[in-house]
Amino acid sequence: MGNQLVWNERYNIGVDIIDKEHKKLFSILNKLFDFGQQEEKSQWVCQEAIKYFRDHALKHFADEEAYMVSIDYAGLEVHRRIHRNFRERTIPALERELELNKYSPESVNHFLGVCAGWLIGHSLIEDHAIVSGENVKQWENLQPEEEQAVMSQTLAGLLHSMFQLEARLISNCYGGEKFGDGIYYRLIYRTRDKKRWEFYLIFEEQLIVSTIGSVMDTSSEAVSVMLMNASRYVAKQLVERMKGHFPNSEQFELKEEQLLTYEQFQKVFEKQSPQYSLLFDTGKGYFAYCATASEQLQTEGGVSIITENAMAEVGKYLSQNKVEKTEISHKKKVLVVDDSDFMLKAMSDLLREDYEVLTAKSGMSAIRGITLDRPDLILLDYEMPVCDGSQVLGMIRSEKEFADIPVIFLTSKVDKESVSKVIALKPEGYLSKSMPPETVKKEVDHFFEKKRRVKK
């Protein structure tokens, strides 16, 4: 693989038994990276080296959980779940891949890449939360792992039986990040006890064209009104098949069907605490399935579809999507990462006219967003809780595919000491949040103009 994990003091959380094991795991992975470069290596030695890493990781999980018990850490159960998922699903799946491929260089590299990425992210986010006192609550309403597994397997089975797709689960905590050109579909149900259930199905447009479009024998490379209406009914049938996994599903009454723009989807979804939020790579495009429940019926959102207006409204929706795609096709993508809703809205309003603006409220959401839709520039809040800007930058720089994405810090602290810390991380620059909006916009414009001149 040729890569190395560079140990940095930011990985320390201040708990000796945890910090020592983190450093040990980094060291073991680096030895495996080196070993992977050797042309002459036996499968047995490779097996033993990977077993050595796995055993150390499992011991680390046990020690870390014992420490959390000793301090009565409120996020213990969530943390245990994350460990268990890695121990019982991720590692066994990777080891099966290694065996099937006879420990080929590609499969070994895949094992190392996944483990390195997981270790970096987990150390910087969930482990730092242990000592910061801030429990990671984003996914506190997710259903138990067994239910998640059943739901994802059922969905993957349906996608295979309908379209012969080999859907692969990418994440069971999809955070609403944008992927490609998407169709955002929302179904709102109500039960007799006035509980609201919402289902979100997000399709990458190319997925609709290559599946439903091929069944209908359409030669169009874009989603048409006819294709969109067919997709709506397929999506509804998909939800009907999945409803059996929910309590009192026989009481569900469909109250509203909506098509959302990405901005509308993002606005309503960020208020939700989903029970299921699954992202699949189907091989023909991405697909996300999310389900949420609450006590009150709220219908704010996008275009409401009823039988009488379906053709006209779907046509308007697709036309609007086409206009938006045309408008942003020549625009540079700017990802704004900040934990403040106010700041995200202010920056979006400021930059939207000239740039395609993507947003993320946390470091992990930013990493997922970068993976799905690579930006041309990241504006990164330096003072975020749990995982601050320096840690997020570290994660970005540690991934070969992301390392060259330019990052400009946003900071509210402009004293000499704070600025020195920011500059030491070698970003493209920094912007003070106290700057007038027109100055911030001018600095972003200047950055892209300078890049354009260099390319010439």
Task: Show the domains of the chain with their CATH numbers.
Answer: 9-132 (1.20.120.50), 145-324 (3.40.1550.10), 331-455 (3.40.50.2300)
Cβ atoms within 10 Å, residue 151 = 20
Measured CA to CA, the distance from residue 270 to residue 277 in angstroms comes to 12
Residue from 280, 285, 282 nearest 152 by CA:
280
Residue from 259, 117, 262, 118 nearest 179 by CA:
262
Measured CA to CA, the distance from residue 366 to residue 276 in angstroms comes to 20
Model pLDDT, residue 313: 75
Q: Which two tokens stand for residue 257?
A: 């069907």
> What does the angle CA 217 – CA 218 – CA 223 come to, to the nearest 5 degrees?
135
pLDDT in tens for each of the 456 residues of the chain? 345 566 667 677 888 888 888 888 888 877 776 665 555 555 666 777 778 888 888 888 898 999 999 998 888 887 887 788 778 777 887 787 778 878 777 677 767 766 776 777 677 667 877 877 665 555 677 788 788 888 999 999 988 888 888 898 888 878 787 777 888 999 998 888 778 889 999 999 889 888 887 766 555 666 777 778 788 888 888 888 888 777 777 778 888 888 888 888 888 887 788 889 898 888 888 899 999 987 764 556 667 776 556 677 777 777 777 666 666 567 899 999 988 878 888 888 899 888 988 888 877 778 777 877 889 999 988 877 666 777 788 778 777 778 889 999 888 776 667 667 667 777 888 888 888 888 989 999 999 988 887 765
Beta bridge mates, 359? 336
- Cα separation values, 255 from 199, 247, 249, 290, 305, Å: 12, 18, 14, 18, 11
Measured CA to CA, the distance from residue 189 to residue 293 in angstroms comes to 10
Please give the single-letter amino acid code of residue 44.
W
Residue 2: burial class (beta carbons within 10 Å; 0-12, 13-18, 19+): exposed
Measured CA to CA, the distance from residue 339 to residue 202 in angstroms comes to 24
Please check whether residue 5 is in contact with residue 26, taking contact to mean a CB–CB distance below 8 angstroms.
yes
Residue from 430, 436, 376 nearest 402 by CA:
376
Residue in the structure block whose two tokens are 């920094």? 430
Q: Is the pTM of this model over 0.75?
A: no
Please give the single-letter amino acid code of residue 8.
N
Task: State phi, psi for 169 to the nearest 5 degrees.
Answer: -70, 120
- Cα separation values, 455 from 255, 378, 401, 450, 452, Å: 53, 19, 20, 9, 5
Cβ atoms within 10 Å, residue 312 = 11
